[in-house]
Amino acid sequence: MKERLAMKTILRHRDKSRIISTHPCFSLEAHSRFGRIHLPVAPACNIQCKYCIRKYDCANESRPGITSRVLTPHEALDRVRSLVERNERLTVIGIAGPGDPLANDATFETFSRIHRAYPELTLCVSTNGLLLSDRLDDLVGAGVTSLTVTINAVRPEIAEKIYSWVSYKGTLYKGREAAECLLNNQWEGPGTAVKAGLIVKVNTVFIPGINDEEIPLVSWFAARRGAELMNIMPLIPKAEFEHLRRPSHEALNTIRRKCEKHIPQMTHCRQCRADACGELGEDRDMELEVLHSRIGEEYCEIVN
Ligand code: CLF
Ligand code: SF4
């Protein structure tokens, strides 16, 4: 029994290092060698971040400003088939919006379909964490192995300044209650996810004048919960935070240096869009890529 457990642990470690070494976001070395596809299948969201405009992609993981066309799970699998079969460097399939992936059943259906068809691909999800503990079993069941949770605060008095409302299990919370509800769930989720075998990254949006002091505390807690990596993303001033400034490179580097004492820092994030495709920063148009692959297939059929 003991031996079987040890073997299982070794396999899990091997699996984990294989996933990290081929994941463009979790490994600096992998980001120029491997790519990812984001599938925009998740339009609904269950909270309101004050830097987010609903009609754009989820600003917790994506760069706002580009509206994604929402895909059905069937269309999403179709796109994966077209793209993955002509590009073996695409190793990760992520769902990062345009809303919160866990608030949309389409997310789980999409992952399950892809996992059945392509079990070798790494499935990755990014969430605001409100439903993480509630939907963890479903994520694991659908084959998801890497996870990002965006957490911007530890204390409710700070979170209250960042979120307008939270909708949880049929109740709409505002103010301090909303902040407490979200923080409770956000901080419970990562530890449980790590125990369930997922590789976890914590994203934090650096909002000058709001959570500067809080970010090192977030990094400390994230490390304690077993997260592998932290990604501090500079605010893109939009919506209610339009009047704030975007943090400078210097300010970003200073805060990263403070946090790396607790947890490794991601420095190559490109704030992708929810329908990104290819290597990080390439920002290829997924529809165009699909079209190219179809033209390629038809050409092969003609010449063969
Ligand atoms: Fe996508 Fe995010 Fe998975 Fe990567 S992106 S869901 S962890 S596969 Fe990567 Fe893009 Fe930065 Fe996100 S560069 S925005 S960290
Ligand atoms: Fe916007 Fe994402 Fe926040 Fe939802 S979780 S309000 S989509 S930034």
For residue 257, the CA-to-ligand 2 centroid distance in Å is 27
Q: What's the confidence (pLDDT) of residue 86?
A: 85
Pocket of ligand 1 (CB under 6 A): 25, 36, 38, 61, 92, 94, 96, 124, 126, 148, 231, 269-272, 280
- Identify which ligand lies nearest to the alpha carbon of 99: 2
SS3 letters across the chain? CHHHHHHHHHHHHHHHHHHHHCCCCCCCCHHHCCEEEECCCECCCCEEECCCCCCCCCCCCCCCCCCCCCCCHHHHHHHHHHHHCCCCCEEEEEECCECCHHHCHHHHHHHHHHHHHCCCCEEEEEECCCCHHHHHHHHHHCCEEEEEEECCCCCHHHHHHHEEEEEECCEEEEHHHHHHHHHHHHHHHHHHHHHCCCEEEEEEEECCCCCCCCHHHHHHHHHHCCCCEEEEEECCCCHHHCCCCCCCHHHHHHHHHHHCCCCCECCCCCCCCCCCEECCCCCCCHHHHHHHHHHHHHHHHHHC
User: For 139-169, what is each residue's pLDDT tens digit?
Assistant: 999 999 999 999 999 999 999 999 999 999 9
Q: Contacts from 192-198 at CB under 8 Å and sequence distance 24+? A: 192/132, 192/133, 192/136, 193/132, 193/136, 193/139, 193/147, 193/149, 194/225, 194/226, 194/227, 195/226, 196/136, 196/140, 197/12, 197/140, 197/145, 198/139, 198/140, 198/144, 198/145, 198/146, 198/147
Nearest-10 Cα torsion for 25, 27, 33, 38: -20
- Identify which ligand lies nearest to the alpha carbon of 231: 1
Low-confidence ranges of the chain (pLDDT < 50): 1, 5, 11, 295-304
Q: What's the confidence (pLDDT) of residue 285?
A: 56
Ligand 1 atom at minimal distance to the Cα of residue 36? 8
For residue 45, the CA-to-ligand 2 centroid distance in Å is 6
- Identify which ligand lies nearest to the alpha carbon of 240: 2
Q: What's the confidence (pLDDT) of residue 293?
A: 53
Ligand 2 atom at minimal distance to the Cα of residue 46? 4
Q: Give, in words, the CATH class of 2-303.
A: alpha beta
User: For 194-217, what is each residue's pLDDT tens digit?
Assistant: 999 999 999 999 999 999 999 999
Ligand 1 atom at minimal distance to the Cα of residue 31? 13
What are the domain boundaries of the chain?
A: 2-303
Confirm whether pTM is higher than 0.85.
Answer: yes
